[in-house]
Each structure stands twice: as structure tokens, then as C-alpha cells.
Amino acid sequence: MTVFLLGAGPGDADLLTLRAARLLASAQAVVHDRLISPDVLALIDPGAARYDVGKMPGDSRSQGDINELLIELGRTNERVVRLKGGDPFVFGRGGEEAEVLVANGIDVEIVPGITSAFAAPLLAGIPVTHRGLSHGVTVVTGSAVTGSTIDFVSLANPDLTLVVLMGVEQRALIAQQLIEGGLAPSTPVAAVEWASTPRERCVRCSLDELGDTHVEAPAVLVIGLVAALDIGRTRLLASAWALA
């Protein structure tokens, strides 16, 4: 009996690994997040039991409830897939779920997925590093900005690209702290919404405009000089495949 912690990537089913697609087609039970795209869910064996455990604002469902469900399913099924958006180990609580399952004597196999932290900017034509503009990239969550976990003032480095996941709600505060830390108010920002899906949209602005710019979740925030780029190669490749 095995629970497969499977990364669904940013959204498009074509970006799944081959192993992920095969596991979805053979799973007996699938526990999935709310934002998994319909074309990914369509790959699940029609006979498999499905459990939507996606959390909505104000939802009382806890991570503990999800853990208990995974334990129960893992003990009664040969192949259980825990389907999580992006990569399950990048702010996806995949590590927590793996620890709980192993502690309860259930085998776990990790199937990595493409993380939205890098895929979303790339699909919008933005390289997260670029010679002469960015010497590195920092990936953080924006959901903890109001607490003591993330100090965005200390992350204000013009030589690096800052990628913020789950930061839409706190984007004004994030921008304020980065400016306080020394980033120029004119620093380019790109917000990539629903990357790789038909709803994909890239919103561009400057750092001092971010709080007043309309951005819809889910979105990946890219902050730094590279956010002004629009390489466009992914669009050309997508068009070439469509014509093939």
C-alpha cells in the first residue's frame, strides 16, 4: 500500500510528468486540492474515488483532517494519489503529509511536479535570472507577511529576483516593506495569474503601484529587474506545437 505525493504542476495537463499521468490513470483513490485544473482531473481513472480537500476562505477543514483521510485511504487501498498543485514540496505541505504517513507505517513515494515559482514567470516570458539583471532568485510565501516569519525589508536586494507565492492578498504590505528595505519604487513587478491555463494573464506594474493594481489569485508575483522582460520564446514554442 502506497500513497503517491504527486505534483500537478502549474495547471496545464501537458506539463505533468509521464509518471504522474500514469499514476492518475491507475489510482484507486485521489485526494486533490481545489485549484487542480479540469484537464488534469480528467486523467484520473473514472472508477477511482475522488476527494476534494481544497480549502476555501473560512473553511473549517484542517490539515489534521486531511492527514487522517490520507492515513485511512492509505491503509485500505493499494494506490492512493495525493494530488497537489505545483510541486508538493514548495509551500505545499507535502513534507508534513509524508511525515505523518510514514509515522503511521504507510509507504510514501514522491513524484515531483513543476513548481509555479519558476514555470509561471517563464510562461510569461520572464527568466527569473538573467545575466546583467539578476544573479539569483529567492522564493518566499506571502501568506506569512503579517506575522514574524517573513521579513520582506531584509529581502530587498536589487541584484536578486524575488518570487512570491500566495502573496496577492498582502501585496500592498509586501511592496511597502520592500521599498522600506531599499528597493526603488520603480522596480518592475509582474503578476502571473493562472499560469499555463486558458485564464492566464500577466499584469505588469512598478513596485509602488502594486498595492493599487488589480491582481486576482492564484498568481505568482515576480519582483525585480527581470520582471520588465518579455522574452516570448515560450509563446513561439507553443504556437509551433499547435501548428505541428
Write the CB contacts of 148 (distance below 8 Å, at least 6 apart in sequence). Answer: none
Bridging pattern class, strands 161-165 and 49-52: unpaired
Catalytic, 84? Answer no
Q: Kindly name the residue from 55, 59, 159, 230 that is annotated as catalytic.
A: 55
Q: Kindly name the residue from 12, 33, 84, 87 that is annotated as catalytic.
A: 33
Active site residues per annotation: 33, 55
